[in-house]
Amino acid sequence: MARAPRLGPYICGIDAALDVVSGKWKGLILWELDAHGVRRFAELRRGLPGVSEKMLTQHLREMETDGLVHREVYAEVPPRVEYSLTEHGRTLNRALAPLGAWGVERIRREGHETVDAAEPSHL
Amino acid sequence: MARAPRLGPYICGIDAALDVVSGKWKGLILWELDAHGVRRFAELRRGLPGVSEKMLTQHLREMETDGLVHREVYAEVPPRVEYSLTEHGRTLNRALAPLGAWGVERIRREGHETVDAAEPSHL
DNA sequence: TGCGGTACTTACCTTTTAGTAAGGGGATCT
DNA sequence: AGATCCCCTTACTAAAAGGTAAGTACCGCA
């Protein structure tokens, strides 16, 4: 791992954008950071139910090298690290908005349950 | 594979939308079908440099069960199958447009090379 | 006769991605 | 004294995604 800028060459813009958001939790991380502005590691962890520490660090590192998130480390005694979106991260989020709306429509159409409303109707 | 509607539950719309477009060639398939309207299997294959027949069928089948593409089989002597976008596929493509634009910007910034000079229609 | 084109399917293998579990080291809480 | 919190790192394992190659069955062309 630790691919520096990222692989390419890309065939079109969708390619390049999907490369950056594909990853099980990246969409949610983007959303959390967009909603709260600044979040610490443990806050993000609590905000993403089920994420492991390894995956969270890994995704955050990749998003940092991709120029989406800013990582600010405070050399304090209980270590403190704050994550926030960069300008690129914010524009990405804005570009993602119509896709999110489409997804919400799809969930509605298909009758999928969201996580907190999960009720197992007979499959 | 052959997951019927798709897994879920989703945490947000981005989740649901990414579920449907994640796959190495799905973005390109969407683009090809959007650009040409109707395409046969072998035409799509030629349009996606490097795709294997297996991956192409697999992706097309998933996109069909996801309600994005329509598959029309003609029972002719040299078999003929035509693929096109459904209405949902077309709205997805429209929702993908800002993301594609973001990706193009990113490619420009990073100085990645594109494979071909063809421009996606939804820019 | 043998090749290429049509649209796949199947089996097998490699690569990538994600999950699990443990550790580290100092500081505050009980 | 012991537990917990903080933000990770490392090693190992499992699952998913993707690639390669071959087979199917029928046809037209040279």
For residue A35, the one-letter residue type is A
Q: How far is CA B72 from CA A65, B38, B58, B80, B100, in A?
A: 44, 10, 16, 8, 28
Å from B76 (CA) to C17 (C1')?
42
- Beta carbons of B106 and A17 less than 8 Å apart: yes
Model-level pTM? 0.85
CA–CA min distance A78, chain B (Å): 32
Q: Is the CB of A70 under 7 A from strand D?
A: no
pLDDT value at residue B3: 45
Distance of CA B84 to the CA centre of its chain: 10
Rounded to whole angstroms, the Cα distance separating A45 from B60 reads 36
- Using the Cβ of B9 and the Cβ atoms of chain A, whether some distance falls under 8 Å is answered with yes
- Using the Cβ of A22 and the Cβ atoms of chain B, whether some distance falls under 8 Å is answered with yes
Q: pLDDT digits over B99-108, tens only? A: 999 999 999 9
A82 nearest nt, CA–C1': D7
The topology under which CATH files domain A13-108 is Arc Repressor Mutant, subunit A (1.10.10)
Domain positions in chain B are 13-108
Structure tokens at A61: 């590192």
Report the alpha-carbon angle B46-B39-B16, nearest 5. 95
Q: How far is CA A83 from CA A11, A55, A114, B26, in A?
A: 31, 15, 27, 31
Task: State the DSSP code for B22.
Answer: -
- The low-confidence residues of chain A, meaning pLDDT below 50, are 1-3, 116-123
What is the CB-side half-sphere exposure of residue B72 using CA atoms within 13 A? Answer: 8
Q: pLDDT digits over B71-101, tens only? A: 999 988 889 999 999 999 999 999 999 999 9
Q: pLDDT digits over B27-74, tens only? A: 999 999 999 999 999 999 999 999 999 999 999 999 999 999 999 999
